[in-house]
Amino acid sequence: MSNLFEAAGLEREAPRPLADRLRPQTLDEVIGQDHLLGADGALGRLVAAGSVGSLIFWGPPGTGKTTVGRLLAKATDLAFEPISAIFSGVADLKKAFDAARGRRAMGRGTLLFVDEIHRFNRAQQDSFLPVMEDGTVTLVGATTENPSFALNAALLSRSRVLVFRSLDSDAIGKLLARAEAIEARPLPLDEEARLALIRMADGDGRAALTLAEELWRAARPGEVFDAARAQDVVQRRAPIYDKSADGHYNLISALHKSVRGSDPDAALYWFARMLDGGEDPLFLARRLIRMASEDIGLADPQALTLAIAARDAYEQLGSPEGELALAECVVHLATAPKSNAVYVAYKQARAAAKEHGSLPPPKHILNAPTRLMKSEGYGAGYAYDHDAPDAFSGQDYFPEAMGRRRFYDPPERGFERELRKRLDYWARLRAERAGED
């Protein structure tokens, strides 16, 4: 049959993917980025003004970055020149720049759209600077990585960063409704399954349409899937989570701050999100140990012991059994009294050590194992605390040139309430004995 088509000079056109057929034709048709494209949005104002400068689009996959770049060129009467940093090198960049210079000579500007711009190395990123500065191109770079870390400072200083948001459930719902309209048939899903599909899309419009296509292809005439069957058909899509990229740091920050904020439910959620995304449980165990030291400290002296025990338990049991020990630690840390007093004191002590240099200890607390050292006054006047009343001599142990400092200031929380009582008591004894002297 295919030979008959070829003999007649006809070719079958492969069916276009649903995401391509639904690609917006105007900026007004873009879904989910109203904060940028609305009348008061950054891009809405630029389009109304009729010109744009160089831009960096930062956001997760499937949020419309490429589509908006193409429509932005159309709205501002610029030639749209797309390249991908994955497939392009220096020769491709030179070719794109030369083509832009040719258009400029003919009186038309070029919007150079660079997908995955963070994949270009520093030297390649620098090559954009001259053509941006002389107006040869208006650069629009798209990236899923944090531009602060992924792009040159010089490139960032010449561009405006615009943040694209993941599509919320309403936006995904509108996208699916458009798909049903263009297909002229409803999705083969009951209401619960439709909501499950929206969740599986995870804010990615392209993924939502791909999943919808899979369901249409899989459904027999008249068949309607429930949520469980729909997930089986599409083999539920894994959450977007790159352990080496920005999402990794965002989620560990969310977990850490939920623990610090004494919210065990939120902390467990972010903990589960990271495990579900494939995070190394031992990385999480190490961070829990850090939280126990930094945010709980001596308000609950057992927190650090428990965090270390949870790590050891995971190393002994592995997944999934060992994950319960980590979850138990998450809840304990989130519900423990909080104190960063030791953390603050340590930083202050470090700063003082750097500020004052190599000051020697006072001689009365130095050992004097030789006659010469004794003659130099080493150990002279040292008071052995166990021989003093209350086992407290009240001597000064700071360098003489520095004077006494107070770094550790425990709050009235948890076990540190008891430590504060001890410190206040010793401070009174020290003052009394200084007065006696």
- Asked if residues 64 and 164 have their Cβ atoms less than 8 Å apart, the reply is yes
Sheet containing strand 110-115, edge to edge, reads: 79-84, 110-115, 138-143, 55-58, 160-163
Give me the pLDDT at residue 250, please. Answer: 85
Closest CA to 301 of 146, 392, 173, 417: 417
Residue with tokens 């030639």: 79
Which helix H or strand E contains 312, and what residues bound it?
helix 302-317
The count of other CB atoms within 10 Å of the CB of residue 244 is: 8
What pLDDT, in 10s, does the model give residues 10-68? 555 667 888 888 899 999 999 999 999 988 899 999 898 888 899 999 988 889 999 99
What residue ranges of the chain have pLDDT lower than 70? Answer: 1-14, 236-247, 435-437
What's the number of CA atoms in the CB half-sphere (13 Å) around residue 246?
A: 12
Give me the pLDDT at residue 332, please. Answer: 97
Q: Tell me the sheet residues that pair with 81.
A: 112
Give me the pLDDT at residue 81, please. Answer: 94
Give me the pLDDT at residue 13, please. Answer: 60
Set out the domains of the chain in order of their start, with CATH numbers.
33-163 (3.40.50.300), 169-234 (1.10.8), 246-335 (1.20.272.10), 362-436 (no CATH)
pTM exceeds 0.75 for this model:
no
Residue with tokens 């025990």: 309
CA distances from 418 to 62, 232, 341, 391 (A): 55, 57, 14, 18
Closest CA to 75 of 24, 116, 142, 31: 24
Residue with tokens 């439709």: 194
Give me the pLDDT at residue 258, please. Answer: 95
Cα 389 to Cα 392: distance, rounded to the nearest angstrom: 6
**Cα angle vertex 352, ends 349, 358, to 5°?**
115
CA distances from 388 to 119, 366, 393, 433 (A): 68, 19, 5, 11
Q: Hey, is 270 helix, strand or coil?
A: helix
Buried b (16+ CB within 10 A) or exposed e, 9-43: eeeeeeeeebbeebbeeebeebbbbeebbeeeebb
CA distances from 234 to 63, 155, 423 (A): 21, 41, 63
